[in-house]
Chains A and B, each alone.
Chain A
Amino acid sequence: MAAGVAAWLPFARAAAIGWMPVANCPMPLAPADKNKRQDELIILNVSGRRFQTWRTTLERYPDTLLGSTEKEFFFNEDTKEYFFDRDPEVFRCVLNFYRTGKLHYPRYECISAYDDELAFYGILPEIIGDCCYEEYKDRKRENAERLMDDNDSENNQESLPSLSFRQTMWRAFENPHTSTLALVFYYVTGFFIAVSVITNVVETVPCGTVPGNKELPCGERYAVAFFCLDTACVMIFTVEYLLRLFAAPSRYRFIRSVMSIIDVVAIMPYYIGLVMTNNEDVSGAFVTLRVFRVFRIFKFSRHSQGLRILGYTLKSCASELGFLLFSLTMAIIIFATVMFYAEKGSSASKFTSIPASFWYTIVTMTTLGYGDMVPKTIAGKIFGSICSLSGVLVIALPVPVIVSNFSRIYHQNQRADKRRAQKKARLARIRVAKTGSSNAYLHSKRNGLLNEALELTGSPEDEHLTKTTSLIESQHHHLLHCLEKTTGLSYLVDDPLLSVRTSTIKNHEFIDEQMFEQNCMESSMQNYPSTRSPSLSSHPGLTTSCCSRRSKKTTHLPNSNLPATRLRSMQELSTIHIQGSEQPSLTTSRSSLNLKADDGLRPNCKGSQITTAIISIPTPPALTPEGESRPPPSSPGSTTNIPPIGSNIVKVSAL
């Protein structure tokens, strides 16, 4: 429930009139508005700039500084206003969050200053609205990278925590600057690539003549020397390839990568040549294979960042290039056809066929003009000139378009990837917010029952307990509770732990202990979606808590004796709570900070309070210390820190 619609809660509760005549069971009591005071204006003085708002606006989020009693620390008696010695600009955003329920991130604000302010006011940055979230995350990432760079340059000499030999090798291959050995290896391979390429080139240069008229290329003259050079290079490349293959974290992925394919293509001809030297028939093919040796030059892309970027952008611009090619082809075909038919009449024309005219068209359009094919007829010359003029346009125009496309597409791809990566996280957040609100209801249901039980005993400490949930939340929960009563069903959540607990609260919820235990055991064995079952089994503490009560006397109490049974089950519930929070949940809610010290009389009672999550957002993990690190979607708000089994079960007698 967003804060914005909190004002519509009276309407939602009024709309429940439709359920009343239909319900078969009595409705639960409404939460009493204990301090029903008129809404008053609060003055917030932030470094001299005065903001004013209604008190109820701030109380929408009781888990933050402004929404809780923590702001009393900042109350200035003389001026009767709350004074904060903080940045007023950021405070504007913070206050708007209370008003609208959406937290925005202003672009001009420094990211670390903003984070500091949010931390001060107790607001989690994760609830920043979708409109500003990407910007925030980007800035945050840049900041983190900057910090990391700073750290790296400081800790240059430090050796990293022990990586395995394989991992160090891989790191050395990927990042030559990590160690001297890697650097040496890097330069050596670069040198050999260059040597290999130059060898291939020089092989074909004619050097010296042999008796006879033929000029011999160096490759045949010094065949042995070249062969040795080639062998040396190929050996180095093979060794390098095998080492990379060994060090790769995912061999399958490595084999499929472009660079490794280039490596293989570069060294294959040599080995094929070794195998096939004696066979005369395929020696022709063998010679062609040598062409592939030129691919060795692509190995340089490991050494050159720019080459890699170019390759990547070409790949991503493939469709634009394809379109350019297609339009060029169209133009070529058109003009070639025209030229062919125009020159058909002339004698001794070189334009023998349309494909033959392609050559003329291409040469003319790219303004090369070799002059080996020239139109002789007047019509041919006219069309030829049109062709060369249009060639300038056709070729020159798309080039800047493609260049700008390069940068546009490159950035677009980057943003799309980022968005896809964040999409999962975004959906998870939405889901968590939804389950968070249902979780909040279920928690407060149990808290509510606990509170009511304590109220019956006239305990004076219930004041503090009820304070932690805002009035709005308790009213909302009462509304959901009425709906449960009307339909005779009760809410379940995806979380197995919560489900186990809530399933024990049936329609007429006040049941005897035996049934309670049975339900506990049953539901823990229920078939939840299979993904959840591991987590269920990993929390044996819950079932032991059920079983441990078998030792108690089980007395069968009739339902009619309402107060007594309620207290009874309150005991059970309170026992669970107490077990659940053996851990000192120091800061489960800010208001607990203000609890008086001498409330230690029944500390476990208070510890049993589970703070309801802020309805619209997942409970800030920082505020509710979770015993185990569990992913947020599963019960963020529940401080169900299952204690070690050996912990004491403190029974609070609610009587």
Chain B
Amino acid sequence: RNPGLGNPPRPTKKALKQRFLKLLPCCGPQALPSVSENSVEDEFELSTVCHRPEGLDQLQEQTKFTRKELQVLYRGFKNECPSGIVNEENFKQIYSQFFPQGDSSTYATFLFNAFDTNHDGSVSFEDFVAGLSVILRGTIDDRLNWAFNLYDLNKDGFITKEEMLDIMKSIYDMMGKYTYPALREEAPREHVESFFQKMDRNKDGVVTIEEFIESCQKDENIMRSMQLFDNVI
């Protein structure tokens, strides 16, 4: 479902195997390949464990960033998350610093779920950079795909009205209380209605990925705004 994302292989199977191997006293340190893979297992000690990303070269292959860009990104990432991974609380807190007036925690949760592709509760630098690579360096279709993935909260391939309403409310929440004109109760719902009007071709109450991409490609505003992301880094 996510063609544009170059997932570095998440060692879920490997982790189980290592857990088992650890139990056997004969399999000592030689059974543990690299620090980075192991530390992901210790989800309970996120704060003390240090996660190191894969090498610069691998990341360069997997994403569309240049070496220098990766360096800059990593420095910023490491600054805020010295342990190498972001958990949801941290993520929300970082994101909220950009929106001092409103409440961005819900939208940040949705973002977190979109970045955390393997749903292990934490976003490592690889996930982070993979997501950014799609958004900032991917094709327009890739970006639309990513946006669809963001909206599709339960990742079932359809955007329902409820999901869209949640997203919409979270966006409106970010504006905070002091806005002009004042936020009305029905504003998010109306916005969702107009969205579905535009996107839902066959009027079946859900938006599929094809409908989404098709409708977006027809909308000039959306196409133009997608190009804004070309110059972010």
Contacts and interface: CB of A to CB of B under 8 A. Distances in A.
Contacts of A41: none
B228 A30 contact: yes
B79 A7 contact: yes
Interface string B131-158: 1100110000001101100110000000
Contact-size category for B: 35 or more
Interface stretch (A14-22, A192-200, A453-461, A543-551): A14-22
A492 B180 contact: yes
Nearest to B76: A7
Interface in B149-183: 150-151, 167-168, 171-172, 174-176, 178-181, 183
Given A27-B224, A491-B179, A479 B98 contact: yes
A73 interface: no
Contacts of B179: 487, 489-492
A297 interface: no
B135 A22 contact: no
A202 interface: no
Contacts of B180: 489-492, 499, 502-503, 506
A117 interface: no
A1 interface: yes
A380 B99 CA distance: 79
B77 A7 contact: yes
A438 B128 CA distance: 28
A645 interface: no
A492 B178 contact: yes
A100 to B, nearest CB: 8
A603 interface: no
B211 to A, nearest CB: 12
Contacts of A78: none
B101 A17 contact: no
B232 A10 contact: yes
A371 B172 CA distance: 86
B225 interface: yes
A4 interface: yes
Contacts of A15: 95, 107, 111, 135
Nearest to A3: B79
Contacts, number: 147
Nearest to B182: A489
A491 B144 contact: no
A8 interface: yes
B34 to A, nearest CB: 26
B232 A14 contact: yes
Interface string A1-38: 11011111111111101111111111100101100001
Nearest to B71: A39
Nearest to A11: B132
B98 A12 contact: yes
Contact of B221 (A2, A26, A434): A26
Contacts of A506: 180-181
A483 B171 contact: yes
A483 B175 contact: yes
Q: Among A17, A502, A503, which residue has the most Cβ atoms of chain B within 10 A?
A: A17
B128 A11 contact: yes
A506 to B, nearest CB: 7
11 contacts: A5-B97, A8-B77, A10-B73, A17-B150, A21-B199, A21-B222, A22-B195, A25-B221, A33-B231, A39-B72, A499-B178
Interface of B: 68, 72-73, 75-77, 79-80, 94-95, 97-101, 107, 110-111, 128, 131-132, 135-136, 143-144, 146-147, 150-151, 167-168, 171-172, 174-176, 178-181, 183, 187, 191, 194-195, 199, 212, 216, 221-222, 224-226, 228-229, 231-233
Interface of A: 1-2, 4-15, 17-27, 30, 32-33, 38-39, 434, 437-438, 476, 479-480, 482-484, 486-494, 499, 502-503, 506
